């Protein structure tokens, strides 16, 4: 299929490459600066070795410019999870020597040994939608961190509010922005507090009254100080800002997916419990279902296939998933599975069946993820909406 395999190890200011033949012999290797002149120099390598596949690790943001440049003129470009390269390196050597040159050789050897799985690694394109998906995912993770932080702080400052109300609503967050501690609430008169409530901008019903807030503050055991006021105010402002950013990016993200993959969106969201947001993330990761010959390849790409171990002539599964695929797709599938488990009778029945068979919650959810992958692959391949004719 390919005569040469090019492994690329990327760092901040340069990248090393190794051209390897089909018999794992090193044909050429060098180091090139990470700049325009370096990119032009590297492009000549494609003329020297036209029937080659390129592979590089996903390295935060360092790889993005080189990857974009490569796929502008080269179809066979693979982006590999660094964890896979690390595990592969451990299987071929017990030495802990690590240099950029050696890393490039290992990456070239990895793609040569795994060329039959090239569909898992080939990067189809890098576009605005993929970038938006990553930004949205990172924002969601950051919001989760700040929420945990706010809860920890409110346990000390205003536990009564935390335990009796959803403190993550826009209403409560805006109240905490202006009235961050019980001491400040108790020191203010009712008219001042009512003014704060009147100035709250929210699309939803306010879930607490000024009188309820005052009553909670008067009977609170929470600590109050200028420092705590600053901490709570910071948390509230940060969440308000991040939530606004997430809403804007989510709307843009879904609109772009609808514009380019409207039919796929309609097919996927025909399953009750799958939202526009998770459907859009699924599409941004999978891109084209034709990339995956069967549902097993899609499961493997998501890393929810069984981890297989071999000892001598024995091959067995340890009951865990491989986690070798796309972490973002795996997370998306778990969110989709959570949604259908709660709101879709068909999938909930399947989940409960697995629980009755003795599976713990987490394992039953992974089984549900695989069930979902099988159905999604069939739906997108046949271009059909969901129907519950398939047996559990």
pLDDT confidence tier of residue 120, bands split at 50, 70 and 90 = low
Name, in order, each residue with C-beta under 8 angstroms of 363's C-beta and a sequence gap of 6 or more.
Answer: 319, 354
pLDDT of residue 391: 65
Cα–Cα distance measured from residue 200 to residue 198, given in angstroms and rounded to the nearest whole number = 6
Cα–Cα distance measured from residue 99 to residue 79, given in angstroms and rounded to the nearest whole number = 20
Eight-state DSSP code of residue 16: E
Mean pLDDT computed over every residue of the chain: 88
pLDDT of residue 174: 93
pLDDT of residue 312: 45
Residue 59 clears pLDDT 90, i.e. is over it: no
In tens, the pLDDT along 347-359 reads 999 999 999 999 9
Place of tokens 């901008």: 201
Q: How far is CA 349 from CA 285, 345, 356, in A?
A: 28, 6, 10
- Mean pLDDT for the stretch of residues 219-234: 96
Q: Left, alpha or beta for 278 (phi > 0: left; psi -120 to 50: alpha)?
A: alpha
**Range with the poorest average pLDDT among 11-15, 315-319, 332-336, 373-377:** 315-319
pLDDT confidence tier of residue 6, bands split at 50, 70 and 90 = very high
**Range with the poorest average pLDDT among 8-22, 59-73, 378-392:** 59-73
pLDDT confidence tier of residue 194, bands split at 50, 70 and 90 = very high
- Mean pLDDT for the stretch of residues 92-117: 76
Which domains does the chain possess? 4-126 (3.30.420.40), 130-248 (1.10.287), 269-382 (no CATH)
- Mean pLDDT for the stretch of residues 217-233: 96
């Amino acid at each position: 299929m390919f005569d040469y395999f090019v492994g690329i190890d990327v760092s901040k200011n340069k990248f090393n490459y190794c051209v390897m033949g089909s018999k794992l012999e090193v044909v050429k290797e060098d180091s090139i600066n990470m700049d325009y002149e370096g990119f032009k120099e590297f492009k000549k390598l494609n003329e020297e070795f036209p029937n080659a596949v390129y592979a590089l690790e996903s390295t935060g943001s360092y790889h993005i410019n080189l990857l974009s440049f490569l796929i502008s003129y080269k179809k066979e470009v693979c982006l590999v999870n660094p964890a896979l390269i690390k595990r592969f390196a451990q299987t071929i050597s017990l030495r802990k020597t690590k240099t950029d040159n050696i890393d490039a050789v290992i990456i070239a050897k990895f793609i040569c040994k795994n060329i039959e799985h090239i569909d898992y690694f080939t990067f189809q394109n890098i576009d605005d939608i993929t970038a938006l998906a990553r930004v949205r995912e990172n924002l969601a993770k950051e919001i989760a961190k700040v929420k945990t932080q706010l809860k920890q702080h409110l346990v000390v400052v205003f536990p009564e509010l935390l335990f009796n109300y959803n403190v993550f609503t826009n209403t409560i967050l805006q109240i905490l922005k202006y009235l961050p501690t019980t001491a400040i609430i108790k020191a203010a008169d009712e008219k001042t507090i009512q003014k704060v409530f009147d100035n709250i901008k929210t699309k939803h019903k306010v879930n607490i009254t000024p009188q309820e807030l005052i009553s909670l503050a008067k009977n609170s055991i929470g600590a109050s100080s200028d420092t705590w006021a600053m901490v709570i105010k910071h948390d509230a402002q940060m969440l308000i800002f991040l939530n606004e950013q997430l809403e804007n990016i989510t709307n843009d993200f879904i609109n772009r997916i609808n514009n380019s993959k409207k039919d796929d969106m309609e097919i996927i969201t025909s399953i009750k419990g799958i939202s526009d947001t998770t459907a859009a993330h699924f599409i941004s990761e999978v891109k084209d279902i034709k990339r995956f010959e069967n549902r097993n390849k899609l499961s493997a790409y998501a890393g929810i296939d069984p981890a297989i171990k071999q000892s001598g002539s024995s091959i067995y599964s340890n009951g865990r998933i491989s986690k070798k695929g796309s972490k973002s797709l795996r997370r998306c599938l778990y969110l989709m599975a959570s949604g259908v488990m709660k709101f879709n009778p068909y999938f909930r029945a399947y989940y409960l069946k697995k629980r009755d068979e003795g599976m713990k919650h987490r394992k039953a959810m992974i089984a549900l993820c695989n069930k979902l992958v099988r159905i999604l692959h069939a739906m997108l391949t046949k271009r059909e909406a969901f129907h519950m004719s398939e047996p559990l």
